[in-house]
Structure 1
Amino acid sequence: MAFLLYNSGYMNKGGYCMHIMIIGAGSLGLLFAAQLAPNCSQLTLVTRSEGQARELAEHGIQLVGTESLETKLAKSIVFQSYSEEISGSMAPVAREVDYIFLMVKQTAISPELITYIQSKMTRHTYLICFQNGVGHEVKLSQAIGWDKLLFAITTEGAKRIGPTSVKQTGHGITYLGELEPKNLAVTNHQQIFIVQLLELAGFRAELSKNMEVRIWTKLVINAVINPLTAILRVQNGELLRSAWALSLMQELYQEVLRLAAAKGIELPIDLWDTVQAVCEATKTNHSSMLQDIEASRHTEIDYLNGSLVKMGNELGLDLPANSMVYRMIKAIEN
C-alpha cells in the first residue's frame, strides 16, 4: 500500500505557527484537512494513492454543500510515496511536524505505516489517533510511547464523493484525551490547544478525562450496527424496521455489556438508546463495513467484534452472537 503526500502551504490566520500532518485522505481526512489548513502554517495530507495526490494537486479539496461547492486550494503541493521518503530519496519537509492526525482504518496500520509515522515523530510531535475499535492503541504505544499519544472519538459525518470531494453529512462532536490516566508527559496545555484549533476550524470539540469509556461506547455502536448491515446488505435504518434484526442487535449489545462489566468498564446506562438513535440518524447511510464488503476490501471486523470475542475468550466469557457475526464477515471477506 502506497501513501503519498498532498501538501498545503496555507499561511496561518489564527496566529498559530505549526505543521499538521493528516494521514488518510478518506472522508474525514479530506474534511479535517480542508477545515484545518487555513489555520496552520503548513498542512500535509498523506493519501493512499499517487493518483489521488495528483488530483488534489490539480483541483484542491472540494467541500460539497447543499447550495454551493467551496474549493480549498493549496499554495504548494508535494507528493511522494512514504516508502521513498523513508529511504531518503525525497527532500525533507520544510518544517518539523507538530501534530499527526492518524485518520486511516485500523486495517491500514501496517508495520510499514508505523515506521513511516516514527520517521515523522520528533520529541515535540504528538500523534492523535481517530480509529474505531480497539487494538491500535497497543501497537502504537509500543512503537511511539504513551507520552506521545492522544486519542480522539468523533461523530462528525462525512461522505467522500470522489478523490478530491467530500460532503459533510452531519455535525457532531470530537472528544480528545489520553487513554492512560497516569500519563503526565502529555500536558493538559497540548490537549487544550488541539481542542481550540478544532473549534477555530468550525468543529465542536471537548476534552475528555475518560477516553476509555468514549472508545468503548463507539466500539459498541459500531459492533452492533456495522456487521449486521454488511451481512444483510442494508442501510443502517433498515435494522430498526425488522424485529429480527433488532433482536440480533440486542444480543450483540447485551454480550458487550457483560464483557465491559467483567473488565470493570462502566458504560452509559442509556447506551442502547444511543445505539438506536445513531441508527436512525444515519438511516440512509451505508456503513463503512458494508462499503468495504461491496468493494471487496478487508473490513475492520477483527478490531470490532473480533476484538470483543478475543477479550471474552481471555476472560472465559462466551460471546456467541459476536462470534457468529465475526465468523460470517470473515467468510464473506474470503
Structure 2
Amino acid sequence: MAKVAIVGCGAMGSVYAGLMASAGHEVHGITLWPDHVAAIRAKGLHVTGKSGDRTVALASVSTTTDGIGHCDLVIISTKAFDVLAAATAALPLVGPRTVIQTIQNGVGSPERAAQVLPVDQMVVGVVGGYGASVPEPGHAHHNGLEVTWFGKYGNVANDLFEGAADIWRGSGFDVKIHDDVKSMVWQKLIMNVAYSGTSCVTGLTIGQIIDNPHAWSVARACSEEAVAVSKAMGVVLGFDDPIAHVKNLGGKIPNAKPSMLLDSQAGRYGEIDAINGAISRLGAELNVPTPVNDVVVALVRAKESLL
C-alpha cells in the first residue's frame, strides 16, 4: 500500500483518487471546492463511468494539505494556472523519497512547479481520453480511460519512478513510459487545441465537434497549427497522420465535454492560455502563423471577460 496525495482533487483528480483508494492505497484528496469536500466526507467518493461504479472512502479530504505528512506519491492535478500555488502547498507532503507528478493540460506546468519543488523527484504525467466531470459534489464521472503516460522531468531514481508507475498500474490504469517528455506532452496538446477552445466557443461535445463540418474545420485547423508549431520547435510527434490520431482519440469519448467547456458552463475561467493560447504565443515567437487559434483565443477571452 502506498500513501498518495492528490493536490487538485476535482474531476480528473477524483478519478485518480477513487481508483487508487479502491486498489487499497492510502489516498488523501485536496481540493478548493468545499462542497466536494463535505460530500466526500459525508458519503464517500462516488466514481462512475468507464472504470465501473464505486464509492470509496478516502484517508482524508480537505481544502489544505495540513496534517497529511510525507507521501510516496504526490499528484498535482490542478488547472495549469494554479500549479505554482499547488506546488507550494504540496511542499509539506514531500520527503526525500517522494515522487511528485504534475498532470496538466497544455505546456509549462512542470517548469512552474520546479520553481519550488525538488526537480530530481519530479515526473510528468499526461492523460487523455478520460472526459471527466463532476456531475454533483462527491461524484466524479469519466467517459473513457485511454491515455496514461509517464516521463521523467528530472533525474528521478529508477526505483522511485517505477514504484510510482506501479501505483497507477495496480489501480487499473494502462501506463506507458515515455523517454521523450516533450514529445509526450505535445502528443496530448495537439488534441487539446482541437477540442478545448472549439467546445468552449460552440458549446458542443467532442463527438458533436467531429460530426459538425463547421466545428470540425475549426478544430482541425487549430490542431494543424499546433503541429506546425511543434515541427518548428523540433518536436518529434511520432505520428504518420497527427490529425487522424486527434480524430480517433476524440471519437472514443464522443459524449465528453472538454474541461474548458465545463469551466465556462460553471462560470469559471478555463485554461485557454495554456492550450490554444500557448500555440498563439509560441507561433508568434517562431514566426509560424496561427490565425485560427488566435481567433479562438480571442473569442474565449471575450466570453471570460463577462465573468
Q: How does 1:202-213 map to 2 (within 5 A)?
A: 202-213=172-183
Match of 2:275?
A: 304
Describe the SS at the equivalent of 1:190: helix
Shift of 1:251: 2.3
Is 2:45 the partner of 1:61? yes
Deviates more, 1:125-134 or 1:24-33: 24-33
Alignment-mate amino acid for residue 171 of structure 2: A
Out of 239, 244, 257, the position equivalent to 2:209 is 239
Q: TM-score, normalised by structure 2?
A: 0.89
Shift of 1:320: 1.4
Match of 1:261?
A: 231
How many residue pairs get aligned? The number is 303
- Change over 3 Å in CA distance of 1:197–1:57 after alignment to 2: same
| In 1: Cα distance, 2:49 partner to 2:244 partner | 30
| In 2: Cα distance, 1:143 partner to 1:174 partner | 25
| In 1: Cα distance, 2:173 partner to 2:215 partner | 34
| In 1: Cα distance, 2:285 partner to 2:254 partner | 35
- Change over 3 Å in CA distance of 1:332–1:31 after alignment to 2: same
Residue ranges of structure 1 left out of the alignment (5+ in a row): 1-11, 13-17, 86-91
Is 2:303 the partner of 1:319? no
Q: How does 1:31-42 map to 2 (within 5 A)?
A: 31-39=15-23, 42=26
Match of 2:126?
A: 153
Q: Which runs of 4+ in 1 moved over 6 A?
A: none
Is 2:110 the partner of 1:137? yes
Out of 116, 121, 135, the position equivalent to 2:94 is 121
Describe the SS at the equivalent of 2:47: strand
1:174-225 Cα offsets, whole Å, 9 max, x none, are: 111114xxx43x0222222122221211121121112211210111101111
Shift of 1:261: 1.2
The 8 Å contact of residues 45 and 57 in structure 2, kept in 1 or not, is answered as yes
| In 2: Cα distance, 1:300 partner to 1:39 partner | 31
Identical columns (%): 21
Out of 245, 252, 256, the position equivalent to 1:281 is 252
Q: Which has the greater radius of gyration? A: 1
Shift of 1:130: 1.1
Is 2:133 the partner of 1:165? no
The 8 Å contact of residues 133 and 141 in structure 2, kept in 1 or not, is answered as yes
Residue ranges of structure 2 left out of the alignment (5+ in a row): none
Q: TM-score, normalised by structure 1?
A: 0.83
| In 2: Cα distance, 1:34 partner to 1:240 partner | 30
The 8 Å contact of residues 149 and 176 in structure 2, kept in 1 or not, is answered as yes
Describe the SS at the equivalent of 2:228: helix
Match of 2:261?
A: 290
Shift of 1:129: 1.0
Out of 285, 290, 301, the position equivalent to 1:330 is 301
Alignment-mate amino acid for residue 81 of structure 2: T
- Change over 3 Å in CA distance of 1:115–1:277 after alignment to 2: same
